[in-house]
Amino acid sequence: MKMTFRSILALSCIFAASMQSLAGEASNALAVSVDKIFAILGDPEMKGDERKAERHSQIRVVLGEGFDYEEISKRALGKEWKKLNDEQRTEFIGVFSQLLENTYMSAFEKYSSEEVKYESERELGKGKFVVATKVASTSKMIPIHYNLMNRGGSWSIYDVKIEGVGLVKNYRTQFRKVISKKSYAALVKQLEEKVAKDSQ
C-alpha cells in the first residue's frame, strides 16, 4: 500500500494535533523533528537514488537541530573530554557527529514507512526528560527512549535508548577500549577513517 504525500501530511497533522493534547513539551519537541524527517522521506520529489544526496543533506539539517552533538560527545568521552582543548573538542564533535549522522541515515533509508507511537514522558530533573516511544517494525513494536534536555527554551536530544541499549553508553564502552588499548589520537584517526569510508 502506497500512501500519497497528501495523506501522510494529513496524518501527521492529526498526529501533531493529538500530540499537543496528550503529551508534554519534550514529546512535542521530539515529534516536530521526527515529523520533519518523515516529511522529507515521504516527499515524492525526494525519492530515488539520484536525490539521495539532497535528501541526506536535508535530514542532516534536521538531525543537527534535534541532537546536541556536543553533549553527546562529552558524555561519550567521559573523563577524556576534560583533557581536551577547545580545538580538539570541536574536531571530535565534528567527526563523531558525522558518524552518528551516517548511522541514522542508513537506518532511515531502511525504515521510512514506520509509525511512531509516543507513549509517555517523564521528568528526570534539571530540565531533563525521557520520552518513551514505540516504533513498529515488521515483526514487533520496538521501544525507543529519547533523553532530551531543555536549555533556555530549546530542546535537544542527548541520548537514545533502543530496546534498552543506550547510544552514549555503547560508544563510551568502545571509546574507552580504543583509548586504553591505543590512544586518544588513535581513536580520532579511526573515527576519521570510518567516516571517510562510509561517506563514499
Partner 1 sequence: MNPFTPPFAIFTALAVILALAFCLPCSLAGETDMPPPAMMIAQADAAGDTDDEDYENEYGDADEGLSDPLYHWNYAWYVFNDRVYLWLLEPTAKGYSAVMPEQTRGCVRNFFDNAMMPVRFANCLLQAKGRAAVDELTAFAVNTTVGIVGFRNAAEDMLLYEPQSEDLGQTFGTWGAGHGIYLVWPVIGPSSLRDTFGIVGDSFVSPINRLSTNWNIGLRTYDVVNDTTFRIGEYERVKQAAIDPYSSLRDIYVQYRDRQVAE
Contacts with partner 1, residue ranges (CB under 8 A) = 74-75, 78-79, 81-82, 99, 102-103, 106-107, 110, 122, 124-126, 128, 130, 137-139, 147, 161, 163-166, 168-178, 180, 187, 190-191, 194, 198
**Full strand arrangement of the beta sheet holding 116-125:** 116-125, 128-136, 141-151, 154-162, 165-166
Q: Which CB sits closer to partner 1, 7 or 154?
A: 154
Q: Which CB sits closer to partner 1, 12 or 96?
A: 96
The amino acid sitting at 160 is V
Q: How far is the CB of 141 from partner 1 (least distance, A)?
A: 8
For residue 43, which of 19, 62, 65 has the smallest C-alpha distance?
62
Q: How far is the CB of 16 from partner 1 (least distance, A)?
A: 26
Q: Which CB sits closer to partner 1, 157 or 191?
A: 191
In this structure, are residues 51 and 155 in contact, taking their beta carbons and an 8 Å threshold? no
Strand 141-151 relative to strand 128-136, pairing: antiparallel
Give the up-direction half-sphere exposure of residue 83: CA atoms within 13 A in the CB hemisphere.
8
Q: How far is the CB of 57 from partner 1 (least distance, A)?
A: 20
Q: How far is the CB of 148 from partner 1 (least distance, A)?
A: 12
For residue 108, which of 66, 80, 69 has the smallest C-alpha distance?
66
Q: Which residue has the cell 563514499?
A: 200
Q: Which CB sits closer to partner 1, 116 or 194?
A: 194
The three grid cell numbers given for residue 161, joined into one nine-digit string = 535508548
Q: How far is the CB of 94 from partner 1 (least distance, A)?
A: 15
Residue 48 CB burial class (10 angstroms; 0-12, 13-18, ≥19):
exposed
Q: How far is the CB of 45 from partner 1 (least distance, A)?
A: 26
Q: Which CB sits closer to partner 1, 11 or 160?
A: 160
Q: Which CB sits closer to partner 1, 15 or 81?
A: 81
Give the up-direction half-sphere exposure of residue 43: CA atoms within 13 A in the CB hemisphere.
15
